[in-house]
Amino acid sequence: MEELKLLRPGRPEPALDPGLPRFALWQLGFRPFYLLASIFSALSIGLWALQYTGWLPGAYLGGPLWHGHEMLFGYTLAVIAGFLLTAVRNWTGQPTPTGAPLMALAALWLAGRILVLTPWSLAAALVNVAFPLGVAWAIGVPIVRSRNQRNYFFIGLMLLMAVLSAGVHAMLNGLVDEPPRFGLQLGLDLVVFVMAVMAGRVVPMFTNNGVPGTNAQRRLWIERFSLGSIIVLFLADHLQGVPAIAGVVALVAALAHGLRLSLWQSWRTLGTPLVWVLHGAYAWLVAHLLLRGLASFGLVPDPLALHALTLGAIGGLTIGMITRTARGHTGRPLQADGFEIAAYLLVFAAAFVRVFVPMLAPAHYMAWIQLSATLWSAAFAIYAVRYWPILTRARLDGRPG
């Protein structure tokens, strides 16, 4: 993968060949989906915070569960789709959607974001289920055709996301007698597993390649134990009414993933932003598991554990990956500038303000939500503005994509 190749720091960007097409948004999957995800994230979180704290008259979303749905099946799924539609082409040597088929997938995702704001709940459900199914087909054809068995997992991931999306819509509309939060929790558990799998593949490699002299390691027993703990947590979440079981599993998982992170020597990465942002995101994953375990025993509020995952872990990993992979796949040096560093710091600051500051000053809870949302929206607005020309123009090195 091109994003795995580090270019020499400080190398100037080559001039764009005037013969290349100037508009390249539909040439590869990461381009529209990273851009759409960043714009949606910046706008939707700001609007949701204004609604939740009473500053916005009327309703942007129907309630906190719809907010959770949109950040999971809207923002997060868009980033995953953009990554997979790009990575699968490199993994298999087979084409993935470009041009009109890619436009159709993007339109399907956008329709889902619009329909959840309307009374047409059935149409919203159908479209939101169709999107991950479409992505599963788009990546499944090249993966199966090339017999790339190692990555069959990602076909299953998209199919399972479709099932979970259908389940959440059914729960939210009263068609299934289960609390909608249950469906969202299972979806988040699945995303945690995906993050753990991908982090184990790329973070040690990025660390060793990007920070010379670092000896980030992977030990088989820790890899199996840490990934297995997330699978067990997913299963434990099916045992509703027995939160202590999931709590114990979450605490064990926190220990396992903390050990895993310690082997990656995060302290050596502080001079390399494209690497430390991934370590920081993984540290938030450990914090989420720890807080979730404590929340199961009533020691901390549930929303703090939830937002350690959504803002800190998912936010940090996605902002890190959509900068790194966008640079790699547009022929730019893999070196963060001030805009990207600002976006990273704003995401982590948003997570800190949302998770830990309310513990210290709970009387100002609504103010902390507004501040956290402002920091988050600013981070993704910076990305959208900074990367608009990068994502919409042809590669600097003249290669396709």
Consecutive 10-residue runs of the chain (401 residues): their mean pLDDT? 36 45 88 97 93 79 86 96 95 94 97 91 94 97 92 94 93 82 88 92 90 88 94 83 84 96 94 95 97 92 93 96 94 92 98 94 91 97 96 86 75
d(CA 336, CA 396): 17
- 223: exposed, middle or buried (C-beta count within 10 Å: 0-12, 13-18, 19+)? middle
- Residue 65's region, left for phi above 0, alpha for psi from -120 to 50, else beta, is alpha
Are 219 and 173 in a shared domain? Answer: no
The set of residues, in sequence order, having a beta carbon less than 8 Å from that of 85 and lying 6+ positions away, is: 28, 29, 30, 33, 96, 97, 102, 105, 135, 138, 139
Q: Are residues 268 and 315 in the same domain?
A: yes
Out of 178, 195, 228, a domain closes at 178
Q: In the listed set 178, 201, 222, which residue is the last one of a domain according to the structure? A: 178
- Residue 60 in any domain: the answer is yes
What per-residue confidence (pLDDT) applies to 21?
56
Q: Do 222 and 137 sit in the same domain of this protein?
A: no
Say if residue 244 is in the same domain as residue 372. Answer: yes
42, part of any domain:
yes
Residue 184 forms part of a structural domain: no
Is the domain of 94 the same as that of 166?
yes
Return the pLDDT at 96.
Answer: 95
Residues 53 and 125 in one domain: yes
Contact 33, 101 (CB under 8 A): no
What is the count of structural domains for the chain?
2
**Domain's final residue, options 130, 159, 178:** 178
How high is the pLDDT of residue 64? 86
What pLDDT score does 4 carry? 37
348 close to 312: Cβ distance less than 8 angstroms: yes
pLDDT at position 183: 86
Q: In terms of domains, do 362 and 238 share one?
A: yes
Predicted pLDDT at 173 = 82
CA distances from 316 to 194, 213, 282, 373 (A): 14, 25, 8, 15
Burial 368-394 (b: 16+ CB within 10 A, else e): bbbbbbbbbbbbbbbbbebbeebbbbb
Work out the number of other CB atoms within 10 angstroms of the CB of residue 153: 12
Residues 220 and 163 placed together within one structural domain of the fold? no
Q: Write down the number of H helices and E strands in the chain.
A: 15, 0
Same domain, 155 and 237: no
Q: Is the pTM of this model over 0.85?
A: yes
**Domain range for 248:** 212-401
